[in-house]
Amino acid sequence: MRTMLFRHAIREAMDEELEHDENVVIFGEEVAQYNGAYKVTEGLWNKWGDKRIFDTPISEAGFIGMGVGASMLGVRPVMELMFWSFHSVAFDQLVNNAANMRYMSGGLANCPIVLRGPANGGTGVGATHSHCPENIFASMPGLKVVTPSTPADAKGLLKAAIRDNDPVYFMENTLLYGIEGEVPPAEDGDFVIPLGVADIKREGTDLTLIAHGRCVHFALEAAEKLQAEKGINAEVLDLRSIRPLDQDAILKSIKKTNRCVIVDESKPFCGVSSQIITIIQEHAFDYLDAPIKRVCTLDAPATYSKYVEHDQLPNVARILDTVATIID
């Protein structure tokens, strides 16, 4: 199996989908001639030219609205938000338009768009640039929210997102762009991972760590430490998409391990974790041997200070401390 960088896996997915469907078009700020603010789209403009990939002004409401409008005619825009934090200046387009269009038209119109870009803290850029809005958008019926954690997942899920006929909001992480991982070679065939299928990243029997995005890596590291230091065999379940959600996988794992800690970079109040807990207590209450615990970003706006930012975000130490409260 070959390995590749996370950012290159995303690029390969877009490259393949540009080839696969002539209606796929990429646009956003700095995606073309600049080669991408994070080099995710590097080389695509050289290869595909101005028609298939182009730069937009810094006008999120304008270009996302344009993508929504074009998608109703069958164009399939894949738009980059330089930061998902910038969603707030295009909320009308992302929610009132993209999420509601099909509904308000009684099914006469639909919006096959993808919005992708990083949504994470941990880079010292302060509260305006560190939002993790997966919970906000997953709370909107009509939208789909995807949060890949590995290069392979990023590629397979993005290809599924681009082929999906509903609006898909694809949330990456700048701190994962440089990680390397195995990705099936292109010659092995179309590598598409369906949305709504969680993935067990580590099999275990004593406890389930549910995570998505970069938190999957914290959970995996914590699981190794738990095994080595306490002999606790933790399962790590990667949600991969928040909506659609693989409820069956969550419940199956809980029924096996009977204990759960959710690791979630969104905020605790009305976060992704809140919904997961609701589902577990409604459908697997009798299988629980301990209260469900969670490790979220600490409930304050994202700090700028590099001295405490690490502590505000989910991290291995906080996972271990939290696990210790429900299992010896």
Partner 1 sequence: MAVYACCALYRLLDWQYALTAQATKQLTMDTSITPTDYAAAPINAALSAEEKIEMYREMCRIRRFEQTALKYYNKGEMAGFLHLYIGQESVATGTISLCGENDHVITAYRCHGHALACGMEMNPSMAELFGKATGASKGKGGSMHLFAPEHNFWGGHGIVGGQTPLGLGLAFGVKYQGLKGCCLCYLGDGAINQGAFHESLNMASLMEIPVVYIIENNGYSMGTSQARSSAHDGPLAKRAEGYGMEWDTVNGEDVYEVRAKTYEAMERARNENKPTLLEIATYRYYGHSVADANAKKYRTPEEIEKYKTYHDPIRLWRRQLISEGVLSDETADAIDKEAKLEANAAGKFAVESPVPTVESLFEDVYWEVDNDTAAGNTGRHFFND
Applying CB under 8 A, the residues found at the interface with partner 1 are: 25, 51, 54, 56-57, 59, 61-75, 92-93, 96-97, 101-110, 112, 141-142, 144, 160, 164-166, 194-197, 241, 243-247, 275, 279, 282
Cβ closest to partner 1, residue 121 vs residue 213: 213
Residue 60 annotated in active site: yes
Give yes or no for a contact between 30 and 206, defined as CB atoms under 8 angstroms apart: no
- What radius of gyration do the chain's Cα atoms show? 19
Cβ closest to partner 1, residue 187 vs residue 282: 282
Give yes or no for a contact between 325 and 261, defined as CB atoms under 8 angstroms apart: no
Element (H, E) at 46: helix 44-52
Report residue 84 as tokens. 């998902």
Task: Report, in Å, the least distance between residue 189 CB and partner 1.
Answer: 17
Task: Report, in Å, the least distance between residue 270 CB and partner 1.
Answer: 13
Cβ closest to partner 1, residue 197 vs residue 317: 197
Q: What are phi and psi of 145, to 5 degrees?
A: -130, 125
Identify any residues that bridge with 116 across adjacent strands, giving them in sequence order. 80, 170
Cβ closest to partner 1, residue 28 vs residue 121: 28
Task: Report, in Å, the least distance between residue 240 CB and partner 1.
Answer: 9
Q: Tell me how far CA of residue 203 lies from CA of 117, 152, 185, 224, 254, in angstroms.
A: 30, 19, 25, 11, 12
Q: Which of 8, 129, 212, 217 is catalytic?
A: 129
Q: In whole angstroms, give the CA distance from residue 282 to residue 284.
A: 6
How big is the chain, counted in residues?
Answer: 328
Which residue's structure tokens are 């990456």? 172
Give yes or no for a contact between 280 and 288, defined as CB atoms under 8 angstroms apart: yes
Q: In whole angstroms, give the CA distance from residue 292 to residue 258.
A: 10
Q: Which of 12, 17, 60, 134 is catalytic?
A: 60
Determine the residue type at 298.
L
Closest CA to 272 of 319, 213, 219, 317: 213
Closest CA to 240 of 146, 310, 136: 146
Task: Report, in Å, the least distance between residue 96 CB and partner 1.
Answer: 6
Cβ closest to partner 1, residue 93 vs residue 315: 93
Pairing label, strands 180-183, 2-5: antiparallel
93, HSE (Cβ side, Cα atoms, 13 Å): 23
Cβ closest to partner 1, residue 78 vs residue 222: 78
Task: Report, in Å, the least distance between residue 50 CB and partner 1.
Answer: 10
Task: Report, in Å, the least distance between residue 280 CB and partner 1.
Answer: 13
Task: Report, in Å, the least distance between residue 233 CB and partner 1.
Answer: 27
Residue 29 annotated in active site: no
Cβ closest to partner 1, residue 66 vs residue 326: 66
Q: Tell me how far CA of residue 212 lies from CA of 14, 202, 263, 298, in angstroms.
A: 22, 13, 8, 17
The residues annotated with a catalytic role in the active site are 60, 129
